[in-house]
Amino acid sequence: NAGVMQNPRHLVRRRGQEARLRCSPMKGHSHVYWYRQLPEEGLKFMVYLQKENIIDESGMPKERFSAEFPKEGPSILRIQQVVRGDSAAYFCASSPKRGGLNEQYFGPGTRLTVT
């Protein structure tokens, strides 16, 4: 059973461009979580999605950031008009059900560099 997959693993964008990060959850998992990790800091929750629904986006910046998890295909975290401060590692996690105990499995992350 393949783990959580994220691509690309590394992404370089110039200021003002768009960044699209993809996350394929583990097979059978219908819940996806996105986290951001700034250099030398812990992970910060951004958004929680279930298939076709955003459940909790309390950690998402109010502008330029959006997320989706369509019925078919991976979850997408989209950052419009990137700025240098968006440079970070973005991790997604998946789980088979809401909440739960140890059932969030993390992907390897996408490292975004904005030049």
Partner 1 sequence: DAKTTQPPSMDCAEGRAANLPCNHSTISGNEYVYWYRQIHSQGPQYIIHGLKNNETNEMASLIITEDRKSSTLILPHATLRDTAVYYCIVREYNNNDMRFGAGTRLTVKP
Could you say whether residue 112 binds partner 1 (CB under 8 A)? no
Could you say whether residue 25 binds partner 1 (CB under 8 A)? no
Could you say whether residue 65 binds partner 1 (CB under 8 A)? no
Could you say whether residue 35 binds partner 1 (CB under 8 A)? yes
DSSP β-bridge partners for residue 95: 31
Q: What is the CA radius of gyration of the chain?
A: 13
Task: Give how far Cα 61 sits from Cα of 29, 66, 79, Å.
Answer: 26, 9, 10
CB 61 → partner 1: shortest distance, Å?
15
Which helix (H) or strand (E) segment holds residue 35: the answer is strand 31-37
- For partner 1, the binding residue among 82, 93, 112, 114 (CB under 8 A) is 93
Nearer residue to partner 1 within complex by CB, 15 or 44: 44
